[in-house]
Amino acid sequence: MPDNIIEYIHRLTTNGICVVITTQCLYEGVNWEIYEVGRNLAKENVINGKSMTIENLTMKLMWSLAHYKNITDVKNFMEKEL
């Protein structure tokens, strides 16, 4: 594993592996702008979990992986409000 988490996530997404960023907070959601690591992650092809629950993210990701073949389509579906 690389020393830098951003480098590691970059490797994953470059190889077509979906990475979802979420939070443990119940009411806040994900805000890319608060910390430097968030600003760097926003530059990568990661999926923003926004304010979805872990259960919602899991089911939505499972469905999208079964229906889409590339990371861009999965990302677009995951970040779309339904």
Does residue 2 have a pLDDT over 70?
no
When pLDDT is cut at 50, 70 and 90, the band that residue 14 belongs to is very high
Q: Please name the residue that has the structure tokens 């968030």.
A: 38
Domain range spanning residue 65?
Answer: 5-78
Provide the token pair at 54.
């872990």
Residue 59: give its domain's CATH number.
Answer: 3.40.50.40
Residue 77 has a pLDDT of 97
Show Cβ contacts of residue 5 under 8 Å, excluding neighbours closer than 6 positions.
37
pLDDT, tens digit, 9 for 90 and up, residues 21-77: 888 777 777 777 888 888 888 888 899 988 888 899 999 999 999 999 999 999 999
> What pTM, to 2 d.p., does this model score?
0.81
Instruction: Please give the Cα distance from 81 to 41 (Å, whole number).
Output: 21
Residue 47 has a pLDDT of 94
Q: How many domains would you assign to the chain?
A: 1
